[in-house]
Structure 1
Amino acid sequence: MTAPDVDIDHEAGVSIRCQDNASVTVTLRGRSSSDADSVRYSVELRAPGLAARVDEVVAWAGDNGLAAFLEELAADYRGWKGDRSWHTDDRDLTVSAVFRSGGYVGLTWTLRPWPRAAGGWGASVTTWLEAGEQMTSLAADVRAFLAEEHQ
């Protein structure tokens, strides 16, 4: 389920909590923009025994980004076969989606900063959400966050 999230610095963001295990979360926060062409934000993954964060994921203006990917998944609430995926241009954030019976979408969020660097690292968590309302809400929250309409 998505919910507005405010940390101790009162920084607005979007938090995605797994329906199957509430201790598994993904948080997008710290949106900033240094120019009209891009938006930067951080992504944090949390699960039992795991905390991973990438501080500067870049979204480009006009691209078919994360919000559009989530909107497409929400529109297909009756399901699909196989995996669907999206990634940032530099592949430091990848989101893959599967549909399971009962109307649930599994979103696997993978952070892999510096993917070409020796000694790089990667971390993934999977959040399960309802295909209908929860996915629609998530897509809207992410779109608002990236457009800086999120308050």
Structure 2
Amino acid sequence: MTSPDDDTDDRAGVTIRCQDNASVGVTFCDRIGVDAGAVHYAVELRAPGLTARVDEIVAWVGDGDLVPFLEDLAADFRGWDGERSRRTDDRDLMVSAVFRSGGYVGLTWTLRPWPRAAGGWSSSVTTWVESGEQLACLAADIRHFLAGE
């Protein structure tokens, strides 16, 4: 399930909550305006005993980024075999998707800041969402968030 969130400083965000466990979620927040064709934002992961955040995720405007990937998944609402994945150019955010019988998609969100640095860290959570309309709404919510609408 996705929901637009309003932070106290009037910057909108998008939260994805897992259908199987509402305490597991991902939040896109703290969007910074477009700079040289790129949008900067933060991503937070939450699960019981886990909170992780990366402040400087970059989405390139007009590039084959996260939104087209999610839209393609939603268009394949009848399912697919195997795993599909997409990562940002900086490799600090990756999402992989698997289809489960019953019409659900598992989205595994992985944060890995400074992926080329020694001693770096990574953290992942998996959110289960309904394929089709719910996934299409998620893609639209993230598109609006990145566009600043």
> If the length of structure 2 is used for normalisation, what is the TM-score?
0.97
Residues 84-136 of structure 1: CA deviation (Å, up to 9, x unaligned): 00000010000000000000000000000001111100000000000022101
Instruction: Give the deviation of 1:6 after TM superposition.
Output: 2.0
Instruction: Give the deviation of 1:10 after TM superposition.
Output: 3.4
Answer yes or no: is the 8 Å Cα contact 2:33–2:148 preserved in 1. no
Answer yes or no: is the 8 Å Cα contact 2:92–2:113 preserved in 1. yes
Off by >6 Å, runs of 4+ in structure 1 = none
Answer yes or no: is the 8 Å Cα contact 2:6–2:12 preserved in 1. yes
Report the counterpart of residue 109 of structure 2 in structure 1. 109
Where does structure 1 lack aligned partners over 5 or more consecutive residues? none
Distance 1:8 1:48 in 2: 24
Letter in 1 for 2:27: T
Residues 1:8 and 2:5 are matched in the alignment: no
Distance 2:73 2:30 in 1: 25
Answer yes or no: is the 8 Å Cα contact 1:36–1:61 preserved in 2. no
Letter in 1 for 2:109: W
Distance 2:7 2:38 in 1: 24
Report the counterpart of residue 138 of structure 2 in structure 1. 138
- The SS at the match of 2:91 is coil
RMSD of aligned alpha carbons: 1.0
> If the length of structure 1 is used for normalisation, what is the TM-score?
0.95
- The SS at the match of 2:4 is strand
Aligned length: 149
Distance 1:97 1:112 in 2: 17
Residues 57-85 of structure 1: CA deviation (Å, up to 9, x unaligned): 00112211111110000000000000000
Where does structure 2 lack aligned partners over 5 or more consecutive residues? none
Residues 128-147 of structure 1: CA deviation (Å, up to 9, x unaligned): 00002210110110111111
Letter in 2 for 1:17: R
Instruction: Give the deviation of 1:34 after TM superposition.
Output: 5.0
- Percent identity over paired residues: 72
Distance 1:147 1:140 in 2: 10
Report the counterpart of residue 60 of structure 2 in structure 1. 60
